[in-house]
Amino acid sequence: MFIRKRALERIAREKVLYERSPGGDVSVCVIYPNIYPLGMANLGFQAVFHIFESDPRVAADRAFLPDADERAQMRKTGERIVSFERARPLSDFDLIAFSISFETDYLNLPSIFELAGIPARSAERKGRGYPLIVAGGSAVFLNPEPIAEFIDLFLIGEGEEMAPEFIARFSEHRGDDDLLARLAEVEGAYVPEHYAPAYDERGRLRSFAYRGPTKPRVNRRLIDDLDQFKTASLILTEESVFGDMYLVEASRGCQWGCRFCAAGFMYRPIRYRSSENLIAEARHGLSERKVIGLVGAEMASVPGVAEIATDVAERGGRLSPSSLKADCISPKLAAALAETGARSVTIAPEAGSERMRKVINKNLTEEQILEAAAMMLGEGVANLKLYFMVGLPEERDHDVLAIAELTGKIIAGARERRQRVASVTVSLNPFVPKPWTPFQWDRMEDARSLKRKIAMLRSALSKLGPVELDAESPREAYFQTMVSRGDRRVSRILERLHAAGADDPGAIWHELQAIRRDIDSAAAVDLQDPDFFVTREYARDELLPWDFIDHHVEKWFLESERKKAHFEHQSPPCDVTRCTVCGAC
């Protein structure tokens, strides 16, 4: 029973920052579909677990994907996953609630079902006394379809108000024959079995017929006032990947509207926590940790962020913001970050050339990037991390080489000003088209072409001296695109990957290629070619797998932004005080 022993050791090392409730008679297991250190670093997971656990009707437990060695042991011994708090088999719960932030974790669902002894497909569980399987989290409110065959009901949107409504409805109707129909009445609930997809002769989604009790379009739920709900570390453990930090969510959404970024559209309109709330939360955190991790899409635009950094510095702590938009870093913020001992800073130009930054609507000039780097280096922050993407729509080779030119100018500028540069890391990610963005119709560039561009850039950067290129593999991005843009037919591919034991990037890539070969040789008739979801441009008039969700962002607006990208036209950042253009305000 070393699995239970490890769980008990982990629980013993945790510090719970709130009073735990004795629990009610609705048993819920909240599952993070990846390993414990990743789950415990996820604020979304901690917040959802706390929402369930603090509901007097609910007895809530946690569970995670077992570690690799545990999985191997369990497959040998037949041991089953049990929950953290009460060591209950997952099949004993009334409800299992997956909290899924990353679509790449969709891969782990078949493993969790297997190791829990629960059939993965809803259709195979129906009427057999298994728990109701629910899922929520930012990944599913972008596109839940790749796992729709595994999940009985999705909660689309932010859970603070929606989850208690769902629990109330579940407590009222559990055991009823029409339970799913009753639960579907919760605003934001999506029941896949109430929809029937049909495909045309080219394999494209032709229709998504609705046969449920409410309305076909699912309204994505958001909360208006973030200050009403705490989203900060609730259970601390050194074993979390951010173990040395107390995490505080500062905002949801982003005003800048970069055309590749899902967070900039799916959480519209932008909402910030008040600086009073953030300062109070950071001070509370400093009694537990020396580092305050400020979480959100873009932190330099958070109102009062410089004052928060200064307040943390004055109390001997360090503020660690997730990402900073170069032109929004004020001298005061730069100084405060340096004063708090920040040793590295992340700046996200995303594209090397001015032209490409206009295509992606980055609203950031080369001059502003050079100024921000000079300011941070001037404050003694000597380690620079620069985020760039490759394979973006409209990209040409000289745009990729412009990444090296820009990096070169940052280093040359530092030398001229005699500023110390300890390291420069170029973090390069292949473009992954995301639902609900202006680039949702665009295809991912094929892996061979991306590899050529990465090699070209690596050679150009090697001439600059101490620059490290940290490039994500196009193969990983290929899988991410498939689970990001795919429809229900992806569930069969996930099952095939699971059956083949493909759970690392290399194995996944090889199994996906094997699937493609099988399809070509008609050996696999029930599988869709992964390329269909990855390297195929979606037509503008095509029904998209996620179109049934209402994100309050008009489709014509996304299309007009796509057109502007082609003509290298930028759009102004959001002004929620007077703008209504995209439909979200």
Please give the residue ranges that form the binding site for ligand SF4 (CB under 6 A).
268-269, 574-576, 579-582, 584-585
Shortest Å distance, C-beta 389 to ligand SF4: 22
Shortest Å distance, C-beta 222 to ligand SF4: 11
Shortest Å distance, C-beta 254 to ligand SF4: 10
User: Which residues have a Cβ under 8 Å from the Cβ of 421 and sit 6 or more positions away?
Assistant: 377, 382, 384, 411, 414, 466
Question: Given the complex with ligand SF4, which of 307 and 550 has the nearer CB atom?
Answer: 550
Shortest Å distance, C-beta 267 to ligand SF4: 9
Question: Given the complex with ligand SF4, which of 164 and 269 has the nearer CB atom?
Answer: 269
Question: Given the complex with ligand SF4, which of 178 and 575 has the nearer CB atom?
Answer: 575
Question: Given the complex with ligand SF4, which of 361 and 491 has the nearer CB atom?
Answer: 361
Give the span between the Cα atoms of 294 and 282, in whole angstroms.
9
Task: Reduce the secondary structure of 84-122 to three states and give it as a string.
Answer: CCCCCEHHHCCEEEEECCCHHHHHHHHHHHHHHCCCCCH
Question: Given the complex with ligand SF4, which of 36 and 267 has the nearer CB atom?
Answer: 267
* Helix, strand or coil, per DSSP, at residue 153: strand
Shortest Å distance, C-beta 194 to ligand SF4: 30
Residues facing residue 426 across a β-bridge: 386, 469
Shortest Å distance, C-beta 363 to ligand SF4: 13
Burial of 534 (0-12, 13-18, 19+ CB in 10 A): buried
Shortest Å distance, C-beta 100 to ligand SF4: 25
Angle between helices 397-416 and 366-378 (to 10 degrees): 40
Shortest Å distance, C-beta 434 to ligand SF4: 17
User: Which residues have a Cβ under 8 Å from the Cβ of 144 and sit 6 or more positions away?
Assistant: 135, 151, 154, 156, 190, 192, 546
Shortest Å distance, C-beta 189 to ligand SF4: 24
Shortest Å distance, C-beta 585 to ligand SF4: 3
434: left (phi over 0), alpha (psi -120 to 50) or beta: beta
Nearest CA among 165, 164, 141, 161 for reference residue 151: 141
Q: To which residue do tokens 């569980």 refer?
A: 125
Look up residue 34 and give its DSSP letter.
S
Give the span between the Cα atoms of 568 and 359, in whole angstroms.
5
Burial code of 449-458, b = ≥16 C-beta within 10 A, e = fewer? ebeebbeebe
Question: Given the complex with ligand SF4, which of 429 and 440 has the nearer CB atom?
Answer: 440
Question: Given the complex with ligand SF4, which of 144 and 257 has the nearer CB atom?
Answer: 257
Token pair recorded at residue 126: 């129906």
Shortest Å distance, C-beta 381 to ligand SF4: 32
Give the span between the Cα atoms of 114 and 439, in whole angstroms.
36
C-beta separation of 426 from 402 below 8 A: no
- Looking from the CA of 355 toward its CB, the CA atoms found within 13 Å total 13
* Helix, strand or coil, per DSSP, at residue 386: strand
Helix/strand/coil percent split, the chain, to 5: 40, 15, 45
**The length of the chain, given as a count of residues:** 585
Question: Given the complex with ligand SF4, which of 361 and 481 has the nearer CB atom?
Answer: 361
In 132-261 the beta strands, taken as DSSP E runs, fall at 132-136, 153-155, 189-190, 195-199, 205-210, 218-219, 235-236, 245-249, 251-252
Question: Given the complex with ligand SF4, which of 465 and 572 has the nearer CB atom?
Answer: 572
Shortest Å distance, C-beta 438 to ligand SF4: 12
Question: Given the complex with ligand SF4, which of 201 and 224 has the nearer CB atom?
Answer: 224
Give, in order, the Cα–Cα distances in Å from 581 to each of 443, 553, 554: 26, 9, 9
Question: Given the complex with ligand SF4, which of 255 and 320 has the nearer CB atom?
Answer: 255
Q: To which residue do tokens 């069969």 refer?
A: 492
Question: Given the complex with ligand SF4, which of 219 and 383 has the nearer CB atom?
Answer: 219
Question: Given the complex with ligand SF4, which of 33 and 296 has the nearer CB atom?
Answer: 296
Residue number, nearest CB to ligand SF4: 574
Shortest Å distance, C-beta 431 to ligand SF4: 22
Shortest Å distance, C-beta 271 to ligand SF4: 10
Residues facing residue 295 across a β-bridge: 249
Distance of CA 195 to the CA centre of its chain: 25
Token pair recorded at residue 62: 């946690």
Question: Given the complex with ligand SF4, which of 191 and 262 has the nearer CB atom?
Answer: 262
Give the span between the Cα atoms of 108 and 45, in whole angstroms.
16
Amino acid, res. 183: L
